[in-house]
Amino acid sequence: MLRRTILKAGAAMALVTSLASVASAELSGPVNYIIPFGPGGESDISARMQQPFFKEKFGQDLVVSYQPGGGGAVGWASLNGLSGDGQTIMGVNLPHIVIKPAQKDVGFKTEDLNIFHMFHFTPDAIVVTADSPYQTLEDLVADAKANPGQVTISGSGKASANHLAQIKFDKMTGAMTTYVPFKGTGAAVTALLGKQVKAEWGYTTVGAAQGDAVRLLAVAMEERHPLFPDVPTFKELGYDMVGGAYRGIALPNTASEETTKMWSDMISAVNTDEAFRQKMLDAGFALLDVDADGMDAFMAEREAEYLKDAREAGLIK
């Protein structure tokens, strides 16, 4: 027992020293991990998933706290005023951080955010209840074409990933559906399960959480999600839709380059842990490994696409 503890401690030491040689910055205590939403959403769940792995690898607690308000805007607007010593990090979400500042002055700009890692995304998916008459995506599209506007689809918020997906998909198919915004994915799913709406624009995570109660009609991924081998991608069905809500973590922009590098490496280490990947996949997430070096290119690409979509949808001018 004692030997094992010593071994463990030794291994941890080795890891910490090897890390310290890479980056000269260090953590000095528990980390304040701010989620700019309320608890229970995808951002919260994925942060919770990281917690034990981070503690195991780096010996410090990630203390999750919630600062909901303005669809995340309140948190992001306050981020750069926080201390950049590496003890405070904040979750960021795409497309929110692109669309919100493009619409109105919400107190922050996309390029002001010092994002150091994008670690997962939840692919868009159309979800129906298990007993829905829509067996395939074509059933839904056909119904929406035959009865314009009558197919109601719930989703989380407006100008959100769900809303953008709905507008984009309507454009692609030429069908007309009605988007009903709810406060968060949980409420949108409740409306679906309660048959208040006919379908939900959600994510693969909804399929994982609800199991047999729901059916995914299609997922917006390049390849099928390992958790849902029977659910086709939009691409297979002839619609060029790949995307969803992307989530990452940012530091205040006063953080030094060493600190940013340290964090990028640490989250990369968590993200490459096989057990962590498996847990995330089981919960319906899709993993992403964009670290600080690749961030600018990644963001530029996503930003261009979101702004184009939002402009076409009439959400921004």
The residues that touch other proteins, with contacts defined as CB under 8 A, are 30, 32, 38-41, 44-45, 48-49, 51-52, 55, 61-67, 69-71, 73-74, 77-78, 82-83, 88, 100, 103-104, 106-107, 149-150, 152, 157-159, 178-183, 186-187, 189-191, 193-197, 209-213, 279, 282-283, 315
Output the smallest distance, CB 74 to other proteins, in A.
Answer: 4
213/237 with CB nearer other proteins: 213
Q: CB-based contacts of 101: which residues, under 8 Å, 6+ apart?
A: 108, 109, 110
Output the smallest distance, CB 230 to other proteins, in A.
Answer: 19
Angstrom distance (rounded) from CA 14 to CA 86 = 22
186/232 with CB nearer other proteins: 186
Output the smallest distance, CB 89 to other proteins, in A.
Answer: 12
CB atoms inside a 10 Å sphere around CB 229: 7
DSSP state for residue 233 in the 8-state scheme: B
Cβ atoms of 261 and 88 within 8 Å: the answer is no
23/199 with CB nearer other proteins: 199
Output the smallest distance, CB 243 to other proteins, in A.
Answer: 19
Output the smallest distance, CB 70 to other proteins, in A.
Answer: 3
Output the smallest distance, CB 211 to other proteins, in A.
Answer: 5
Output the smallest distance, CB 51 to other proteins, in A.
Answer: 6
Q: CB-based contacts of 229: which residues, under 8 Å, 6+ apart?
A: none
Output the smallest distance, CB 270 to other proteins, in A.
Answer: 14
Cβ atoms of 166 and 153 within 8 Å: the answer is yes
CB atoms inside a 10 Å sphere around CB 88: 17
52/232 with CB nearer other proteins: 52
155/244 with CB nearer other proteins: 155
114/233 with CB nearer other proteins: 114
Convert 2-59 into a string of H (helix), E (strand) and C (coil). Answer: HHHHHHHHHHHHHHHHHHHHHCCCCCCCCEEEEECCCCCCHHHHHHHHHHHHHHHHHC
Using the structure block, give the residue that is written with the tokens 């490459």: 272
Angstrom distance (rounded) from CA 39 to CA 37 = 7
160/233 with CB nearer other proteins: 160
Helices (H), 249-294: 257-271, 274-282
Cα angle value 154/157/163 (rounded, 5°): 65
234/285 with CB nearer other proteins: 285
Angstrom distance (rounded) from CA 309 to CA 159 = 10
CB atoms inside a 10 Å sphere around CB 6: 10
